[in-house]
Structure 1
């Protein structure tokens, strides 16, 4: 596992300098750290001619890139070519002698941050709307003509210094590109199974290894790479929790080039809340979420809808394995951990025995 750094503090003077350099004519009013991931993120209010604007500054916690430059370019591409609600990027700086680079400034969007586990307790109509909108946005994402190989997405454009990124999909490419999807999938599966062997579910690891070997062998192409959201979950959204409207899709640093079905099935499992069904007041709503996501996807990308029309158990199981690997990070009511873990274990065995 990669060691995750602590977010470093950025001084108000540095933030003021960044605003002055990036947005001439605007002055800093306030800057407050935001608890979001491990990057150094600040909620910034700037002003010009009595007009205030709320922004976010996202910067490296330790001088490493952590996908931040790529995230800024991806958001620019999505702003230019889709209706996906991503924050507009106003300025990117890839390198600076004293500022905490890389960093970028982006507009703030409305909506509420909702706990990851809240998805299991949304009313049906709220979850259906959220799923339908997620499906439509994934359809738009998968239709962006940006990648031709499988792997982690990166940008190939020039470095920027206090400049707005362009929105050309041609500036995106893939790091260490793979031609063969099953081979690349095996790499990802092996990585997750390595983690799984150290988890509380490790008794399942040998059987999962054999099951994935057989399942990947049976996958039937052709496999076409698309931009994949990958990092699904309420933690990377802003929503209206009363209606299910998605007002922002955040954190694009770990975008992958994958088949559309892979991205779609991950989203179905994670937004269904099925991994919480061991709680007495949470239902397994995979079928409902998949139907709603499919309906949204069909409206946005009818030319691609056939590729996500049939559920693929290999992709669902990998999403389940990721939940098992990160089980300790779930926030569960006290005393329910064992019941939730056993439900996930039973769910996995159902797929193993299918």
Structure 2
């Protein structure tokens, strides 16, 4: 793979000297490599030229409206499934907790206010609708939980099982443009100042329920920080919306737990178990 990346960069960035290539992270769809500590090469595991072209255009549009830094694309090689962008400063919040997470609330609230206010008709051309029914999501969560139930402390299992035995919330009345995977692994922070330095991985961006974006904040930063984010959010978010936020946070936690205990990094499972009591309380 290192040789392929060197050849790719030589073709698109002639004169750029490659000294180091390091695997930075890997998910279900993509693997990311850091080159020279300077640029990132994101490679789709299954080449999909149309998706790479769409993501390139999406990132350009998001950079125009975002209040937080997002990747600047240097070039895309659609046929190879490759997107290359400048590395943003900072480290992933996932695994690098900041001393005072409440300081993240104001920039996240402003960021989501602008994101969710983007013209839906225009963004729909770049971000497909995500209309996965809540009832189906709840059934998926139950199947995932049965696979990992034995890893959940016995005292905490009733919290999860009470949730799974409940009903799914109604569909959202309004859809907005969303990052749609705004977990701590996609938020970069400066470990010295605790400030957000970037938002990564827009591959799941969609026109969907705005509760999806808040749900990852609820799961990863806790209900108290979620409430603070809302105090800086300009959009409407009523009690029914809050119910959907908690619902999606709980489904996402179970998904992360199953992922971390199967094909994903173990840290996802560890983080899910640590956040379980407050997320299902």
How high is the TM-score relative to the length of structure 2?
A: 0.77
Aligned residues: 266
Q: CA deviation at 1:247?
A: 0.5
Looking at structure 1, the residues matched to 207 and 180 of structure 2 have their Cα atoms a distance apart, in angstroms, of 9
Looking at structure 2, the residues matched to 248 and 347 of structure 1 have their Cα atoms a distance apart, in angstroms, of 25
Looking at structure 2, the residues matched to 173 and 346 of structure 1 have their Cα atoms a distance apart, in angstroms, of 32
Match of 1:128 in 2: 102
**Which of 326, 339, 344 is the equivalent residue of 2:276?**
344
How high is the TM-score relative to the length of structure 1?
A: 0.63
**Which of 41, 54, 70 is the equivalent residue of 1:86?**
70
**Which of 248, 257, 262 is the equivalent residue of 1:318?**
248
Match of 1:19 in 2: 9
Residue segments in structure 2 that go unaligned for 5+ positions in a row = 261-265
**Which of 158, 166, 178 is the equivalent residue of 1:211?**
166
- In 2 relative to 1, CA 173–87 (structure 1 residues): closer, same or farther, beyond 3 Å? closer
Alignment of structure 1 residues 28-107 onto 2, 5 Å: 28-38=17-27, 39-45=30-36, 54-63=38-47, 68-95=52-79, 101-107=80-86
Q: CA deviation at 1:264?
A: 1.9
Work out whether residues 219 and 253 of structure 2, in 8 Å CA contact, stay in contact via their aligned partners in 1: no
Considering only CA atoms, is the larger Rg found in Structure 1 or Structure 2? Answer: 1
Q: 2:147 is paired with a residue of what secondary structure?
A: coil
Work out whether residues 218 and 245 of structure 2, in 8 Å CA contact, stay in contact via their aligned partners in 1: no
Does structure 1 residue 246 correspond to structure 2 residue 196?
Answer: yes
Looking at structure 2, the residues matched to 326 and 40 of structure 1 have their Cα atoms a distance apart, in angstroms, of 18
Alignment of structure 1 residues 174-189 onto 2, 5 Å: 174=128, 178=131, 184-189=133-138
Q: 1:212 is paired with a residue of what secondary structure?
A: coil
Q: CA deviation at 1:204?
A: 6.6
Q: 2:42 is paired with a residue of what secondary structure?
A: strand
Match of 2:207 in 1: 257
Q: 1:211 is paired with a residue of what secondary structure?
A: coil
Work out whether residues 196 and 321 of structure 1, in 8 Å CA contact, stay in contact via their aligned partners in 2: no
- In 2 relative to 1, CA 346–17 (structure 1 residues): closer, same or farther, beyond 3 Å? closer
Work out whether residues 115 and 234 of structure 1, in 8 Å CA contact, stay in contact via their aligned partners in 2: yes
The structure richer in helix per residue is 2
Q: 1:293 is paired with a residue of what secondary structure?
A: helix
Q: CA deviation at 1:249?
A: 0.8
Q: CA deviation at 1:347?
A: 6.1
Residue segments in structure 1 that go unaligned for 5+ positions in a row = 1-8, 46-52, 96-100, 148-167, 273-285
Q: CA deviation at 1:32?
A: 0.8
- In 2 relative to 1, CA 308–106 (structure 1 residues): closer, same or farther, beyond 3 Å? farther
Map Cα deviations across residues 180-237 of structure 1 (whole Å, 9 max, x no partner).
xxx7222333322321232216777764344124xx25x6x6x221122232332212
Work out whether residues 58 and 103 of structure 1, in 8 Å CA contact, stay in contact via their aligned partners in 2: yes
Map Cα deviations across residues 20-53 of structure 1 (whole Å, 9 max, x no partner).
4434x542332412321243322234xxxxxxx9
Does structure 1 residue 290 correspond to structure 2 residue 226?
Answer: yes
Work out whether residues 38 and 87 of structure 2, in 8 Å CA contact, stay in contact via their aligned partners in 1: yes
Looking at structure 2, the residues matched to 68 and 188 of structure 1 have their Cα atoms a distance apart, in angstroms, of 27
Work out whether residues 57 and 106 of structure 1, in 8 Å CA contact, stay in contact via their aligned partners in 2: yes
Match of 1:156 in 2: none
Map Cα deviations across residues 271-293 of structure 1 (whole Å, 9 max, x no partner).
22xxxxxxxxxxxxx22x13431
